[in-house]
Amino acid sequence: MKIQPATYYERIEIAEDLISYNFHSYKIADLIPKFNNELVKKCLTREWGVRGLKDNIERIAYKCFLLKRRGNLPSDWGSYKWPIVDKEEIDNGDPQRNRPACPYSLDRNAEHRKGRECFKPEMIEGWNDNMTAEN
């Protein structure tokens, strides 16, 4: 069975759920409205999909928790330097879970993911329309 990657809009829905979950977990739900679309887009990763999105939102929620405790929340969330990571690493697959290495890699070891060769924006419905510089 071939699994299709989540569309841009599905990723936004997932992000909204993750934001709600994480901010409620840290008891900082009052900050959810500050998490705007611009910041959600920064959390979307080209290479790690939902895993990277989840990691980035967790990092931001924890940072907000710490900043709020110190009374040092940023006034401009869009330009604040959040701990967002757009990961790159070699994907050798996972034989124990029967997950093969990424099929878009030309060299499954040394060259994999170098320069984002693996990510194809056209694979993600809505990505090109919503993630360009002017959006």
- Residues 6 or more apart whose CB falls under 8 angstroms from that of 92 comprise 101, 108, 109, 112
What confidence tens digit (pLDDT) does each residue in 101-123 have? 665 544 544 444 444 455 666 76
Sorted by sequence, the CB contacts under 8 Å of residue 134 that are 6+ apart come out as: none
Is 3's pLDDT higher than 70? Answer: no
Q: Is the pLDDT of residue 125 over 70?
A: yes
- Distance (Å, whole) CA 21 – CA 33: 14
Question: Which residues have CB under 8 Å from 126's CB, separation 6+?
Answer: 7, 8, 9
Place of tokens 């929340």: 73
Direct distance between the N- and C-terminal alpha carbons of the chain, in angstroms, rounded to an integer: 34
- Of 6 and 81, more confident: 81
* 134 part of a folded domain: no
| pLDDT over 90 (residue 134) | no
Of the ranges 22-26, 41-45, 73-77, the best mean pLDDT one: 22-26
Which residue range(s) make up the domain with 37? 8-78+96-128
- Position 85 in a domain: no
- Examine residue 35 and state whether it is found in any structural domain, yes or no: yes
Task: Count the domains in the chain.
Answer: 1
What are the residues whose beta carbons fall under 8 Å from the beta carbon of 88, sequence distance 6 or more?
Answer: 47, 113, 114, 116
Query: Is residue 20 in some structural domain?
Result: yes
Q: What is the pTM of this model?
A: 0.69
Query: Looking at the domain assignment, is residue 90 inside a domain?
Result: no
Quick one: average pLDDT of 42-56? 79
